[in-house]
Structure formats: structure tokens, C-alpha cells
Amino acid sequence: MKLYLVGHTLRYETGNLCFLFFPGEKLQVEADRSQHGDFYAITRVKKGQRFVHVLVILGKNGKCTKGHAVFLNQALASKRETEYALGKAFLNAGEALCGIRPPWGILTGIRPVKIAEHLLQTGMQAEQATKYMTEKLLVRPEKATLCLRTAEKEARIRALSQSNSVSLYIAIPFCPTRCLYCSFISHDVEKMQKLLPDYVEKLCAELHAIGNLVRTLGLKLETIYVGGGTPTSLSVPMLTRIFDTVRASFTLEDLREYTVEAGRPDTITPEKLQVIRASGCTRLCINPQTLNASVLKTIGRSHTPEQFFQAFSVARQEGFTSINCDLIVGLPGDTAKSFHQTMDQLMSLSPEGVTVHTLAMKRSSRLVSTGLAQYAAHSAEVNQMLEMAYSQLDRAGLSPYYLYRQRNTVGNLENTGFSKPGHEGLYNVFIMDETHTVLAAGAGGVTKMRRPQGTHIERVFNFKYPYEYIARFDQVIARKEKVEEFYHGSVFQDLSGGGQPSGD
């Protein structure tokens, strides 16, 4: 798709608006409009003495549509006003061309809750904030309401964090098979068997090093999240060693939450659950994604609905009282009727948490590389599935506490975590909101450091692939110095006022 910018330099913002209507397309910024071809977006911002006029022209397959917007050209007119006007004009042109209206209006970021939170902090009541989001940002009323409900719950969760709070992420990037839609750095556990002992050894050494840092810096560990991949694809002895290392390396008495993403039901056994339970785990994730057998087969999940029910039952028998289950709407072959059946079956188990994801078309997934991706197809039906799920979860007493968006999702929809009171996934909020530092261990892990005085984030990356993580482990450990330097302020400037970080 050819993109033309006239009278402005909002390349990034305009590109994101293009993706609302043309997900997956490659954008080519051009200057010569005489050769725009048959698939293009022309965006023009023209400043007059009193008004700023915005024009968007979209063309595809011989059809051309236009959208207009205007605002006062005042001395204090901000870049944001230009963005809003550009978004409004783009939505009008896009709806006329494609016949769809993005549910989140002109919003293209991954954290719309941030906007709702800001509106509430300025003193707006919920009704005023809803009006602003629907009229100014063109968000659908039901999405604005969802966003505000989530913002209120997130604010209470963030308030739990203290000046010296941190969380810990433990990466186990191995899976039994790779799902059709997956783009994460995860590896077939059968093919990686030779690496597993070395990986576990190095992971435990890194956890020990992080534990020393937490003690030395006087940090308070709030939450632990063991994710992947599928952590339960490891053997019982390997899991035991990892969990024993965590217990030996960190003080867990004041821990608010300890989540283990068991994930794939076909990897879950009573023995593994016993090890997880003994570790101090307070929250378990068992993720069916769907309970439609044919859809499971299509997406490459090597388990059956029956295996999910069995895993859930065993988890209850082993004493787990906080279980979260992930679902995905928009999977190939799924329908509103079959998804409704999935919801009915899942809710009959009364899980404490359900996270509803919208299928995202990720470039490195087999779904996209094999040409099976259908970005816009069935988007109305997918939205119907989502709203039906939300309604059913509300009736069951589960409320939204966590929401984010991804690029190239079916129907431009969202991912939302629901839970019963007291069973919210605290780590999910802390990591998405960047509430406090998250220390990461394992291949592909990214430590995100935040000083308590401000919003500045500094990142330290581990090597992505297990073989590289193992081979260059000395560098992984050496990079831990950056964490200590960050908290001592000897390398990174405190962008929030120059004060020294709290160590208490």
C-alpha cells in the first residue's frame, strides 16, 4: 500500500491508522502522487488562518473514498489535536471504503486503559470519561465502559506496589508442539531434549544470581510468574530443581502471588501438579484455547477437550483453588455456536479466572506464513463471540481487571482478563502497566527496570534462543551488573528529578 503524507510528518500515527483497515499490509511512503497506483492512502493537513483542515483519501481496486475533519488553528493547538482529526478523517474514509468501523475508534495503542485512567485522574466522572472516549476518540460505548471498569480495578491492583517492589518472570520456552497462531520463541521439547539439562542448570544459576541482587538491593518480591512455552513440558525432576532453586534464592513469605502457567493440558500430570503445589504456587493456568476438538486439531494443539477436563479435575484434587483458563476467539473453524459451547463447558467448572484473547495474525506464525490468515473475515461474528463471553463471565461473577490490544487482531478487538474477586492476576497488571521492575530469568527474558520516582524504563535482554543462552551464559550473568547500577544510579540518569532510588 502506498502512503502519502502532505503537510505533516505523522508517519507512525498514519501507518497505525492504515493497519486498522488494512492489517498485514506493507506500507510504502511515497512523495510523487502522480503514480499512486490502485491501492493508496493520501493524508493531507492544511493550516489556514483560523482552521486546520485534514483530508484523507483512500483508494483500492478502483474505488475511492474521502474523509474530512477540521479544528481551530489556535496557538496552543497540539500535535494531539492533529492526530485526533487525522484519525476521525481516516475512520470516515475507511468505513466508506471497507464497510467496517473499528470498535476502538481512532485508538491504535496496546493500552487503552491508560487513557481511561488519565481521564479519571483529571477529575472526570465515569460518565464524562465515557462521553469523551465515544465522542472524541470514537470508541464504541461498550468498549469505553469495559475500559473504564478495567481501569478502576487496575488502579486498586497497582496501589499494592511499593517503592521497592519487584516481580520475577521465569522463562521456560519449550512446548510439545508449536500452535498454528504462535510466534513466540518456543521450541519443540522433543527436539530439544539434549539441551534441557544444561538449560535447567543455567536457569537455576541465573535465579540464584537474581536472588542475591534482590537481597543486596533491599527489594521486595511481590509476584512470580513461571511462563513459556509450556513449563510443564519439563520432567518432574527438572521442575523440582527449578522450584527448589526459587525457594532457596528468594524470600517467599510476603509474596502476593505465585503463578505457574501449566498451559497445555496434555503435559499436566498429578506428579507435576504436586511439585508445583509444593513450590508455593498460588495461581495455576490451564489453557485449552478452545474446547472444539476439530479446531484444536486445526491449530496444532496436541490435546483433546477430554484431556483439559481431566487436567482441571486433577488440579482441583491437588488443592489448587485459583485456576485461570485462556480462550481465543476467532480461531480457524470456530463459530459463534461452537464458541458458545466452549464457554458453557468451561463455566460449568467454575474457574476463578478466564482470559479471553482475540486471535492475532502474527507475521512469524504458520497461520500467516501458510496463507491461512483472514484478517477481516467473520469479524462481526468474532465480536459477537467476545460480547457473549463477556456477558456470561459477568453473570458468573467474574469482572475485568486487565486489558490490552495487539496489532493485526481479527476485528481490531482486544484481550481481556476476567476473575472472581481476589483472584486477579497481579503479575499481568504489573507487567502490562509497567508498575514496577520485572526481573527476568531464562532464554528470551527481558528485565524491565523502573525507578520508583518516575516512569523511565530501562531494559536488559537475555539471549533469545536456549542454545545461545547456554553458550553465552557468562554474558547473561555479567549483564546483572546493569540492574545494580540502575538502582544505585551510577549509570542511568534518574529522569524524574535526580533523586536516588529507594533501597528500603
CATH code of 418's domain: 3.30.750.200
- Residue 363 belongs to a domain: yes
pLDDT of residue 184: 60
- Residue 365 belongs to a domain: yes
Same domain, 272 and 302: no
Same domain, 433 and 372: no
- Residue 453 belongs to a domain: yes
Q: At which of 402, 422, 442 does a domain end? A: 422
Cα separation, 12 vs 29, whole angstroms: 11
Structural contact between residues 441 and 210, judged by C-beta atoms closer than 8 angstroms: yes
- At residue 236, φ and ψ (nearest 5 deg) are -60, -45
Identify the CATH number of the domain in which residue 94 sits.
3.30.160
Same domain, 414 and 371: yes
Structural contact between residues 450 and 459, judged by C-beta atoms closer than 8 angstroms: no
Q: Other CB atoms closer than 10 Å to residue 66's CB: what's the count?
A: 15
Cα separation, 460 vs 462, whole angstroms: 7
In total, how many domains does the chain have? 4
Same domain, 236 and 220: yes
CA 202 to each of CA 150, 241, 470: distance values in angstroms, whole numbers, following the listed order: 38, 12, 7
Cα separation, 19 vs 91, whole angstroms: 11
Sheet containing 437-441: which strands, arranged edge to edge? 399-405, 414-419, 353-358, 323-329, 283-286, 257-263, 220-228, 165-172, 437-441, 446-450, 457-461
490 secondary structure, DSSP code: S
Residues of the chain with pLDDT under 50: 377, 490-504
- Residue 103 belongs to a domain: no
Same domain, 328 and 382: yes
Cα separation, 394 vs 104, whole angstroms: 21
Q: At which of 370, 391, 422 does a domain end? A: 422
Residues 6 or more apart whose CB falls under 8 angstroms from that of 154 comprise 113, 117, 401, 402, 429, 433
Same domain, 36 and 54: yes
Amino acid (1-letter code) at residue 87: G
Q: Other CB atoms closer than 10 Å to residue 169's CB: what's the count?
A: 22
Same domain, 492 and 464: yes
The owner of cell 533523586 is: 499
User: Containing domain of residue 379, as a range?
Assistant: 290-321+323-422
- Residue 339 belongs to a domain: yes
pLDDT of residue 498: 34
Same domain, 415 and 430: no
Cα separation, 314 vs 273, whole angstroms: 8
Reduce the DSSP state of residue 2 to 3 states and report it: strand
Cα separation, 102 vs 92, whole angstroms: 11
- Residue 160 belongs to a domain: no
- Residue 107 belongs to a domain: no
- Residue 371 belongs to a domain: yes
Cα separation, 320 vs 137, whole angstroms: 42
Same domain, 307 and 408: yes
Cα separation, 333 vs 139, whole angstroms: 29
Same domain, 368 and 487: no
Same domain, 210 and 239: yes
Q: At which of 422, 453, 473 does a domain end? A: 422
Cα separation, 242 vs 213, whole angstroms: 18
Same domain, 303 and 413: yes
CA 81 to each of CA 72, 111, 341: distance values in angstroms, whole numbers, following the listed order: 9, 20, 45
pLDDT of residue 7: 93
